[in-house]
Structure 1
Amino acid sequence: MNDLALHLLDIVQNSLVAGASFITIEVDENPAGNLLTISVKDNGRGMSPEQVQKLSDPFFTSRTTRKVGLGVPLLKHTAEQSGGGLEVVSVPGKGTCLTTRFQYDHLDRPPLGDVANAVVLMISANPGVDFAYKYTYNGRSYNVDTLQLKEVMGDLPLNDLYVMEMIEEMIKENQSDLKVCQIR
């Protein structure tokens, strides 16, 4: 995968397949601390300790439609090649939290990619699922969640083209604002 936003889409797809109705996505860019952290937490069916242990095996998958699952092993490999790692905490019947860390300035770390677009795609393609997205840059954060968006939009569905464009623009603008140097 060319960027981390594509990995993010893949991990969220796993959450959806696991029956999640609420998914939290956090991206924490910390150039000052030389760390990039991406985490996805869901309320899906969760996994047993044995399943979590096998998660990085490309020939392990719980899906019946294919015999391989490359998403998590590829993400883990990418993180490790970039001076980081991957951690999974899961409780059967409660959900799963996958956290990936990368050395921010590592030469092998893929670019973050268009996370705002990825988040909008996830929201628009899954109207029955609620999402919370938190973006942090050097300790300053921005949050958006579909529960609040639905309240503000009223009868307008979040997968309406106009609404999708507005959400993407809002996310990109707020992320950009966090990166602006503040002079006091």
Structure 2
Amino acid sequence: MKEIALHILDIAQNSISAKATLVDLTLSETPEAITFTIVDNGRGMSPELLAQVSDPFTTTRTTRKMGLGIPLLRMAVEQTGGSLTIDSTEGVGTTVTAQFRPAHIDCPPVGDMAGTITLLLQGTPQLELHYVHTIDNNRFQLTTEELRAQLGPEISLAEPEVILWIRDYLQEQEMLLRENKGMKA
């Protein structure tokens, strides 16, 4: 995958497939590290599955025999001198933390986070999503609870006009984060 955002989308989709109703996504960018953490309340993994999750020939899918998301993420972070940790408890959920070294030539760009977040919301409008993005000392956060409070219960987050507004809003906030990089929040 050519962007960190695509890795985030893949891991978040795994959370949704694991019946998560809540996903906490944090993305932090500093000169030393680009780190994302995804915490979900899905069904979690058994210790046996957790021990094998980085093996491309291990998957819980029934539609194919290979699962490449975690192995590709592990390869991408390790190529930059970074790290990947996965903690999971059956019946509780899973936490995935990936840390990339941005100074490394093989570090992919963060990519289209606005597109990633809106795709998650459009495909799973009932999902409770907490998104926090920090660049240096500047921070932006978005929660689906706040969005629903503004929209009211009769309007779905998957409505085309709502999704377009969310995407535009996220793009604007991401741009402001990058413009204010290095300034105190």
Is TM-score (shorter-chain normalized) higher than 0.5? yes
1:152 to 121, 144, 150: 150
CA RMSD of aligned residues (A): 1.3
Q: Using the alignment, how far apart are the partners of 1:65 and 1:132 within structure 2?
A: 30
In 1, Cα distance between equivalents of 2:47 and 2:29: 30
Aligned pairs (5 A) from 1:36-51: 36-51=34-49
Aligned residue pairs, count:
181
- Residue identity matched to 2:94: T
Q: TM-score, normalised by structure 1?
A: 0.93
Query: Which residue of 2 is the match for residue 137 of structure 1?
Result: 135
Moved over 2 A (4+): 178-183
Segments of structure 1 that go 5 or more residues without pairing to the other structure are none
2: CA distance, partners of 1:105 / 1:59: 32
> Structure 1 residues 116-125 or 163-172, which shifts more?
163-172
Counterpart CA distance in 2 for 1:3 and 1:64 is 27
Deviations 1:24-73 (A, max 9, x none): 11111112xx1000111100000122211111100011222211100000
Which AA in structure 2 matches 1:134?
V
Structure 1: distance between partners of 2:137 and 2:94: 25
Structure-1 separation of matches of 2:168 and 2:40:
25
Pairing partner for 1:65 from 63, 66, 69: 63
Amino acid at match of 1:158: L
Alignment of 1:83-102 (within 5 A): 83-102=81-100
Deviation at 1:128, TM superposition (A): 2.1
Q: The residue matched to 1:117 in structure 2 has which SS?
A: helix
* 3-state DSSP of counterpart to 2:110: coil
- 1:105 matched to which residue of 2? 103
The match for 1:17 is 17
For residues 72-105 of structure 1, give each alpha carbon's deviation from its aligned partner in whole angstroms, at most 9, with x where no partner exists.
0000000000110110011110000000000012
Structure 2 portions without partners, runs of 5+:
none
TM-score normalised per structure 2: 0.93
